Amino acid sequence: MDFMGAYSLDHLSFLMEGFWVTLKVAFISIVLSFLIGSIVGILRYARIPVLSHVLAFIVEIIRNLPLLLIIFFTYFALPEIGIDMEITSAAIVALTVFESAMISEIIRSGLKSIEKGQIEAARSSGLNYYQTLRFVVLPQALRRMVPPLVSQFISLLKDTSLAVVIALPDLLHNAQIIYGQKQSYVVPMFLIIAMMYFIVNYALSIIARRLEVKRV
Amino acid sequence: MDLYLEGFKYTIIASLIALVASFALGTIIAVMRIAPLKIVNVIGTVYVEFIRNIPLVVIVFFIFIVAGISGTAAGVLGLTIYTAAFIAEAIRAGIMAVPKGQLEAARSSGLTYGQAMRFIILPQAIKIVIPPLGNQFINLVKNSSVLGIVAGFDLMYQADLVSSQTYVVFDVYIFVALFYLVLTIPLSLGVGYLEKRLGKTS
């Protein structure tokens, strides 16, 4: 094991470049999938005929497929039908599709967890459907959604590492290039990238726990 | 077609072995986390927090490269280590949900800590734990696709092989997706059913 050689300044800055790509891809995908997931979740909750069923069908299919397959599909199969994307966009699209499905389920079950009586009470106090959702259901449901949402974001950040299969230059990919030079770099490289992933994700989970304690 | 079925077989076998192994390991770690011994607690907590917060692919690659075992073995081992952390959390939550008085009553009836766990707490916790465990199993089946990256002969690997030989990509991946759905959709429905039924009885 050659820690000194493995952790040279060049290598560390190369790792940081990869880490930056990981964080960037994860952040964009989190924002996009939160938006799309919320819309899909609310539409499913609203029980709009046909649309809600179609969405339910699509969400179930996506949720039950491996993300790795979706990434492969987006990058290698879609060009066959004329949708060609470069690596980073393909990674973001694949992650967003998969995570939107997951997040929509969290949003939907959060909304569903609000007791019927509350909605009935709000409606009979003269609030319309939209007002009920906005002032009564959402504020309560959001609190319950925070912990599962954050753990979903953590898995998204971890899942960006799957994009090494399409050669996204992320943290894992850059580490592979470094330890590819020398056998003695392998263990040091895995230790440092594990720590990098760990620090970010653990920080996120601590923030989630704080929020949970404060708001309940 | 033979290749797909071969991959399908590997995916199922790898998932089943990893399921049994990670259930065993996860149970041990869950009990470690609540055992009345501080050092044992800390080991359990460190394991769960560390493994849960790093990507599965990193674990699998590490084992594959460092241990020098076959891709299938490295994949199964990695899946086991990773999933055990999640199962440990699910089981711990289940055990915590059993009222404290039960353990106290069992202990004062003369059962040892181990006996109380084995005969009083765990049987009750299992009921609460079944739905989240089902979800972990679905994740496990999906996550087994990482075997494809380390040449683990599973569905993903065969898909890669077939598409690179025939230059047909789109159809191959759609077909493989169907294989995965055949496994995961019934599991999802089963978990949903159990959640509803167990939710009603408690």
- Does the pLDDT of residue B202 top 60, yes or no? no
Span B100-106, average pLDDT: 89
Q: How many CB atoms sit inside 10 A of residue A51's CB?
A: 12
> How much is the pLDDT for B152?
87
Closest CA to A105 of A58, A158, A67, A48: A58
What distance lies between CA A209 and its chain's CA centroid? Answer: 18
> How much is the pLDDT for A80?
86
Residue of A22, A62, A64 best to disrupt the B interface, most CBs of B under 10 A: A64
Q: On the CB side of B2, how many CA atoms lie within 13 Å of its CA? A: 0
| Cβ within 8 Å, pair A81-B160 | no
> How much is the pLDDT for A158?
94
Q: Which residue of B has its CA nearest to A172?
A: B58
Span B149-164, average pLDDT: 88
| Cβ within 8 Å, pair A64-B169 | no
pLDDT (tens digit, 0 to 9) for every residue of chain A, 216 residues total? 778 888 888 999 999 999 999 999 999 999 999 999 999 999 998 888 899 999 999 999 999 999 999 999 999 999 888 888 999 999 999 999 999 999 999 999 999 888 888 888 998 999 998 888 888 888 888 888 888 899 899 999 999 999 999 999 999 999 999 999 988 999 999 999 999 999 999 999 888 888 776 654
* Chain B residues whose beta carbon lies within 8 Å of the beta carbon of residue A172: 55, 57-58, 61
Spatial contact of B97 and B128, defined as CB atoms under 8 Å apart: yes
- Write B42-50 long-range contacts (CB < 8 A, 24+): B44/B88, B47/B85, B47/B88, B48/B85, B48/B88, B48/B89, B49/A202, B49/A205, B50/A194, B50/A198
* Chain A residues whose beta carbon lies within 8 Å of the beta carbon of residue B49: 202, 205
* Chain B residues whose beta carbon lies within 8 Å of the beta carbon of residue A72: 156, 159-160, 173
Domain edges within chain A: 3-215
* Chain A residues whose beta carbon lies within 8 Å of the beta carbon of residue B61: 172, 176, 190
* Chain B residues whose beta carbon lies within 8 Å of the beta carbon of residue A193: 58
Residue identified by tokens 């499905």 is: A101
- Does the pLDDT of residue B136 top 60, yes or no? yes
Q: Tell me if chain B has a CB within 8 Å of the CB of A197.
A: yes
Query: Helix (H) and strand (E) counts for chain A?
Result: 10, 0
Span B136-164, average pLDDT: 90
Q: Residue B167: left (phi > 0), alpha (psi -120 to 50), or beta? A: left
Q: Which residue of A has its CA nearest to B146?
A: A68
Query: CATH 1.10.3720.10: does it fit domain B2-201?
Result: yes
* Chain B residues whose beta carbon lies within 8 Å of the beta carbon of residue A61: 181
**Token code pair at residue B177:** 């997706």
Question: CB-based burial of residue B119 (10 Å sphere; 0-12 exposed, 13-18 middle, 19+ buried)?
Answer: exposed
> How much is the pLDDT for A216?
47
Spatial contact of A76 and B169, defined as CB atoms under 8 Å apart: yes
**Token code pair at residue A21:** 């790509």
Q: Which of B56, B177, B185 sits opposite A69 (nearest CB)?
A: B177
CATH architecture of A3-215: Orthogonal Bundle (1.10)
> How much is the pLDDT for B199?
65
Spatial contact of A150 and A204, defined as CB atoms under 8 Å apart: yes
What distance lies between CA B30 and its chain's CA centroid? Answer: 14
Q: How many CB atoms sit inside 10 A of residue A55's CB?
A: 19
| Cβ within 8 Å, pair A194-B58 | yes
Q: How many CB atoms sit inside 10 A of residue A18's CB?
A: 23
pLDDT in tens, B113-135: 889 888 888 888 888 888 889 99
Spatial contact of A106 and A37, defined as CB atoms under 8 Å apart: yes
Residues 6+ apart with CB under 8 A from B201: none
| Cβ within 8 Å, pair B173-A76 | yes
Q: Mean pLDDT for chain B?
A: 90
> How much is the pLDDT for A190?
94
- What DSSP string runs through A113-142? TS-HHHHHHHHHTT--HHHIIIIIIHHHHH
Identify residue A33 by its one-letter amino acid code. S
Q: How many CB pairs under 8 A join A and B?
A: 101
* Chain A residues whose beta carbon lies within 8 Å of the beta carbon of residue B156: 66, 68-69, 72
Spatial contact of B74 and B146, defined as CB atoms under 8 Å apart: no
Q: Which of B57, B169, B185 sits opposite A77 (nearest CB)?
A: B169
> How much is the pLDDT for A198?
96
| Cβ within 8 Å, pair A65-B180 | yes
Coil, strand or helix: which one is B197?
helix
Q: Tell me if chain B has a CB within 8 Å of the CB of A170.
A: no
ipTM attached to this prediction? 0.86
Domain edges within chain B: 2-201
Residues 6+ apart with CB under 8 A from A204: A150, A153, A154, A157
The rounded distance, in Å, linking the Cα atoms of B84 and B29 is 8
| Cβ within 8 Å, pair A197-B138 | no
User: What are phi and psi for residue A144, nearest 5 degrees?
Assistant: -75, -20
Eight-state DSSP code of residue B169: -
The rounded distance, in Å, linking the Cα atoms of B56 and B50 is 12
> How much is the pLDDT for A214?
61
Question: CB-based burial of residue A76 (10 Å sphere; 0-12 exposed, 13-18 middle, 19+ buried)?
Answer: buried
